[in-house]
Structure 1
Amino acid sequence: MTTTTKPPARLHHIGVQTFDLDNSLAWYRDFLGCRPTWTATAFSELTRSRLPGVSRITEIVTEGVRLHLIERDSRERQHGPEDRVQFQHLCLAVDSPEELRATLARWQRLHASGDYEFLRPDPPTGIVTDAEGVQSFYCFDVNGLEIEFTHLPESAR
């Protein structure tokens, strides 16, 4: 007999390390429509030991996606891999191929504006379509972190 059980945990937020919180806040606001919900500037010993040099953490949200932007004081690598801006990638789904194209165009428009400092000069990829009709493109945020945007047709859901 097979039983379906509720997963023991569900995604609450994704932490994104940054060396320029104001730049990140502006970019995520303008690109994804995120809005801040809280900011912390005092941290427990545990947080300070996990995130050396942490100065601010701001939570931002949009459409059920919650990110914690974690500002670090220094770009210098002092301890090890934990001092790098890091995560592999975040994938966000959109409702239509048109919305996917509009998201790509918005990234290009914001990048061309010169209003943001990007740590990586890489442009976004083109939109690719796989054998099931899933369409995706990849881009980098201002911190050099990879974001995938995807549209899944009904047949692939």
Structure 2
Amino acid sequence: MTTPTVPTAHLHHVGVQTFDLDNSLAWYRDFLGCRPTWTAETFSELTLSRLPGVSRITEIVAGAVRLHLIERTTRVRERGPEDRVQFQHVCLAVDTPEELVRRRELWQELYASGRYDFLLPDPPSGIVTDAEGVRSFYCLDVNGLEIEFTYVPGSTR
């Protein structure tokens, strides 16, 4: 039996739910250099049924990274059950080990500035290096969502 050929898909954007769009916009601007490209305040019935309480959606872009920040009026400020099936994190690659260190330092600087309301006050992890020389650390955005930053030397991994 022949496996059918399926066209290759590519990642268009990642949707990020937030209770404070302005806080998220400021943090992603200052941390990733994102800029807004559009905002919507009216929605289809499908969107309203999938995202109860949605009030605004803003797309932000930095290089090839595209995020849709989805503001919802329903406020539940707690971490969900750790044993549920969910997207666990998003990983962004940097070009040098120094950039990895700088990105972690920037997170700490932005947190210490007091300009942002963080849902969870967890600090970034330390930078770890695996047996193949891949380096990475994890941090949380202002909404408590996990982001991994990685440096992969000379590899397409």
Deviations 1:15-51 (A, max 9, x none): 0000000000000000000000000000000000000
- Percent identity, aligned pairs only, is 77
Alpha-carbon distance in structure 2 between the residues aligned to 1:146 and 1:15:
13
Shift of the 62–6 alpha-carbon distance from structure 1 to 2, 3 Å rule, reads farther
Which whole-Å CA distance do the structure 2 matches of 1:76 and 1:153 have between them?
A: 40
Per the TM alignment, residue 76 of structure 1 is displaced from its structure 2 partner at its CA by 4.2
Amino acid at match of 1:64: A
Q: Deviations over 1:100-121 (max 9, x none)?
A: 0000000000000000000001
Paired amino acid for 1:51: L
TM-score calculated relative to the size of structure 1: 0.88
CA distance in structure 2 between the aligned counterparts of 1:140 and 1:76, rounded to whole angstroms: 17
Partner of 2:10: 10
SS at match of 1:68: strand
1:115 alignment counterpart: 115
Q: Which residue in 1 is equivalent to 2:143?
A: 143
1:7 shift after superposition = 4.3
- For 2:20 and 2:155, the matched residues in 1 are separated by 41
Which residue is equivalent to 1:96? Answer: 96
Q: Is the 8 A contact 1:37 1:61 kept in 2?
A: yes
- Between the aligned partners of 1:156 and 1:135, the Cα distance in structure 2 is 14
Alignment of 1:2-81 (within 5 A): 7-76=7-76
Unaligned regions of 5+ residues in structure 1, if any? none
Runs of 4+ aligned structure 1 residues displaced above 6 Å come to none
TM-score, structure 2 normalization: 0.88
Q: Distance in 1 between matches of 2:24 and 2:17?
A: 10
In the TM superposition, what whole-angstrom CA distance separates every residue of 1:84-140 from its partner, at most 9, and x where no partner exists?
xx7421100000000000000000000000000000010000000001100000000
Determine helix, strand or coil for the equivalent of 1:154. coil
Letter in 1 for 2:58: T
Deviation at 1:60, TM superposition (A): 0.2
- The amino acid of 1:59's aligned partner reads E
Residue 106 of structure 1 is matched in structure 2 by 106
Matched to 2:15, the amino acid is G
Q: CA deviation at 1:8?
A: 3.1
Partners of 2:44 and 2:156 in 1: CA distance: 44
